[in-house]
């Protein structure tokens, strides 16, 4: 069994007490590797190395085209290890091999995209008076700590790291304890790209130990978190205690509204990827469908056909479509939600329980006749469980879609683009997908309304949250 280490100051560091975190293949429940478990000592080392690199100004003073070239080099090196890393990601997370390799390539795209913006972060001159010359400069915060979830271990790492690096911050990444191995392969790309010491550190430890210590560390100046609302709030409290900024993306309970004129096959294709892909462990999962009464039966039949057709299996087996849930705990949680939906009056027209085989597989589950008072309609399930709700008039559909504490994604299915735009304008969510879930790219801003968080990742404006503004006034007298 291979043993992985933490990547600190460009070297591989074991943990002081030799403790390790064992990593499972969720398709078989077998241990596939282990990683040195970072604790206080290793967090201190990583933060100090980031702080030193920041204080050395190596990235800040680097000519910006050089910084951009270095980022392109990281992108190239990441593409070179995409196959090797993708395989490990596929094993530790469970998702399909193609999706896992794509995640590495997405990281490379992020670095290429933000590389092109490094020298376009312009300040302003501000008229004050004829004898004052006043200007602004955009500057990094210093040490930026990123806490990564297990559902998209590489994509989440890449989107925040690329911004952090492009803006001149030094970064400490804490990967998720369920999926830390693939990020260490990525660390090899950092080494191969000859990134100066300390600018990027990647460690793994438990959330309530290394994670909470990292975000509350006195030398951390900025935090990025993607994960659950409960953990996000704890992290925001830590940041408030130190008065430092945080970027938080906290999941969702996203609804797609299906109008009577919708192409129902489009809805089914979206369900295939957006609720059954990655076993539904997606922050913007299409977890509710709010369907017009006139087309509900037909759509439910199609969703049942889709659910029946999905090939259940590990991500590394050719043709697998319904891959495992990340862990025993998460499977129990997801199964518990499905059971609660049935107990509260929903009808499981397909699925409803775990698959009877090794590993942590959950049946593709379609719950019909769900109402907004049910737990399955309100809480983030994070599994392949789709709730179908019925509506009669458009205002009612929008009300149902918005009746949630979350506000990450939303969808509209209709051939009438006028109606789509009007509906999109009334949806309380950071993104709205029309006729196809996941239309975005590295260039489109992504983030939440309400309890789904704030700030935006991806796109040009994401960079703003990694920068602070310095105003300089020169007296010309
Ligand atoms: P979590 O939010 O607790 O974990 C995400 C990351 O935060 C991990 O790296 C973990 O080590 C770290 N963490 C945990 N506690 C921390 C703390 N006190 N301080 C600093 N870092 C900490 O999510 P968890 O427990 O793995 O899953 C629970 C639920 O969260 C899931 O069922 C799902 O509903 C939701 N979730 C949502 C995600 C999203 O993208 N929206 C991603 C992962 C989980
Ligand atoms: Mg947790």
Q: For 141-200, how does the pLDDT look when each residue is reduced to its tens digit (9 = 90+)?
A: 999 999 999 999 999 999 999 999 999 999 999 999 999 999 999 999 999 999 999 999
% of the chain with per-residue pLDDT over 70: 100
Q: In this structure, how many other beta carbons lie within 10 angstroms of the beta carbon of residue 97?
A: 19
pLDDT of residue 6: 98
Q: Does the active-site annotation cover 249?
A: yes
Q: For 380-419, how does the pLDDT look when each residue is reduced to its tens digit (9 = 90+)?
A: 999 999 999 999 999 999 999 999 999 999 999 999 999 9
pLDDT of residue 477: 85
Tell me if 315 sits within 8 A of 323, measured CB to CB.
yes
> For residue 32, is pLDDT > 90?
yes
In the chain, the N- to C-terminal Cα span, in Å, equals 71
Closest-CA residue to 372 (of 404, 342, 398): 404
Closest-CA residue to 222 (of 141, 156, 158): 141
> For residue 11, is pLDDT > 90?
yes
Closest-CA residue to 107 (of 173, 141, 62, 152): 152
Q: For 292-313, how does the pLDDT look when each residue is reduced to its tens digit (9 = 90+)?
A: 999 999 999 999 999 999 999 9
> For residue 1, is pLDDT > 90?
no
Which ligand 1 atom is the nearest neighbour of the CA of 176? 9
pLDDT of residue 34: 98
Question: Parallel, antiparallel, or unpaired: how do β-strands 365-368 and 347-350 relate?
Answer: antiparallel
Place of tokens 């069994």: 1
If you average pLDDT over residues 29-41, what whole number do you get? 98
> For residue 255, is pLDDT > 90?
yes
List ligand 1's pocket residues with C-beta within 6 A: 147-149, 151, 174, 176-177, 207-208, 211-212, 215, 226-228, 231, 234-235, 251, 283, 330, 333, 380, 382
The residues, any chain, with a CB within 8 Å of residue 103's CB and separated by 6 or more, are 86, 89, 152, 153, 154, 155, 158, 182
3-state secondary structure of 402: helix
Cα(34) to ligand 1 centroid in Å equals: 20
Q: How far is CA 317 from the centre of its chain?
A: 25
Closest ligand, as measured to the CA of 227: 1
pLDDT of residue 80: 98
Which ligand 1 atom is the nearest neighbour of the CA of 148? 9
Q: For 321-380, how does the pLDDT look when each residue is reduced to its tens digit (9 = 90+)?
A: 999 999 999 999 999 999 999 999 999 999 999 999 999 999 999 999 999 999 999 999
Closest ligand, as measured to the CA of 246: 1
Cα(229) to ligand 1 centroid in Å equals: 8
From CA 465, how far away is CA 467, in angstroms rounded? 6
pLDDT of residue 183: 98
Structure token digits, residue 218: 């006195």
Mean of the per-residue pLDDT values for the chain?
98
Cα(231) to ligand 2 centroid in Å equals: 6
Q: Does the active-site annotation cover 332?
A: no
Cα(220) to ligand 1 centroid in Å equals: 20
| Domains detected in the chain | 2-250+453-475 (3.40.605.10), 255-441 (3.40.309.10)
From CA 317, how far away is CA 321, in angstroms rounded? 9
Q: For 419-475, how does the pLDDT look when each residue is reduced to its tens digit (9 = 90+)?
A: 999 999 999 999 999 999 999 999 999 999 999 999 999 999 999 999 999 999 999
Q: How far is CA 318 from the centre of its chain?
A: 25
Q: Whose CA is nearest to atom 27 of ligand 1?
A: 228
**Total count of residues recorded for the chain:** 477
Single pTM value for the model: 0.98
DSSP string across 299-363 = HHHHHHHHHHHPPB--TTSTT--BPPPS-HHHHHHHHHHHHHHHHTT-EEEE--SB-SSSS--B-
If you average pLDDT over residues 13-38, what whole number do you get? 97
Closest-CA residue to 451 (of 387, 402, 401, 404): 404
pLDDT of residue 409: 98
Q: What phi and psi, each to the nearest 5 degrees, are found at residue 210?
A: -65, -40
pLDDT of residue 65: 98
C-alpha triplet 4, 115, 71: angle, nearest 5°: 35
């Amino acid at each position: 069994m291979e043993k992985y280490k933490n990547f600190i100051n460009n070297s591989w560091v074991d943990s002081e007490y030799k403790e390790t975190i064992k990593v499972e293949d969720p398709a078989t429940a077998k241990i596939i590797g282990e990683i040195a478990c970072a604790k206080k000592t290793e967090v201190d080392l990583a933060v100090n190395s980031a702080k030193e690199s920041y204080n050395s100004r190596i990235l800040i003073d680097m000519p910006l085209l050089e910084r951009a070239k270095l980022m392109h080099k990281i992108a190239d090196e990441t593409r070179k290890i995409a196959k090797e890393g993708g395989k490990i990601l596929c094993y530790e997370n469970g998702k399909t091999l193609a999706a896992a390799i794509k995640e590495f390539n997405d990281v490379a795209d992020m670095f290429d995209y933000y590389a092109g913006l490094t020298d376009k972060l312009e300040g302003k001159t501000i008229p004050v008076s004829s004898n004052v010359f006043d200007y602004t400069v955009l500057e990094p915060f210093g040490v930026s700590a990123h806490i990564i979830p297990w559902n998209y271990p590489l994509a989440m790492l890449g989107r925040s790291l690329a911004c952090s690096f492009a803006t001149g911050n030094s970064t400490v990444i804490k990967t998720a304890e369920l999926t830390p191995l693939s990020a260490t392969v990525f660390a090899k790309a950092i080494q191969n790209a000859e990134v100066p010491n300390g600018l990027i550190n990647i460690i793994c430890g438990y959330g309530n130990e290394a994670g909470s210590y990292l975000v509350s560390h006195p030398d951390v100046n900025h935090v990025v978190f993607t994960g659950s609302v409960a953990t996000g709030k704890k992290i925001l409290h830590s940041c408030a205690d130190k008065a430092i900024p945080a970027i938080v993306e906290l999941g969702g309970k996203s609804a797609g509204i299906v109008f009577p004129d919708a192409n129902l096959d489009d809805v089914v294709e979206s369900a295939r990827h957006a609720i059954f892909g990655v076993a539904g462990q997606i922050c913007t999962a299409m977890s509710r469908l709010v369907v017009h009464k006139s087309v509900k039966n037909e759509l439910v039949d199609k969703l049942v056909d889709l659910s029946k057709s999905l090939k259940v299996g590990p991500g590394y087996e050719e043709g697998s479509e319904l891959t495992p849930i990340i862990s025993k705990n998460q499977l129990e949680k997801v199964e518990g939600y499905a059971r609660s939906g049935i107990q509260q009056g929903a009808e499981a027209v397909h699925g409803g329980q775990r698959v009877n085989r090794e590993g942590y597989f959950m049946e593709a589950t379609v719950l019909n006749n769900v109402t907004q008072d049910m737990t399955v309609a309100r809480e983030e399930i994070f599994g392949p469980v789709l709730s179908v709700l019925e509506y009669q008039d458009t205002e009612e559909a929008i009300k149902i879609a918005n009746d949630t504490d979350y506000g990450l994604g939303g969808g509209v299915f209709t051939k009438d683009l006028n109606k789509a735009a009007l509906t999109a304008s009334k949806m309380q969510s950071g993104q709205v997908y029309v006729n196809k879930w996941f239309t975005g790219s590295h260039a489109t801003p992504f983030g939440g309304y309400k309890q789904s968080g704030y700030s935006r990742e991806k796109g040009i404006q994401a960079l703003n949250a990694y920068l602070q503004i310095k105003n300089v006034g020169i007296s010309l007298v």
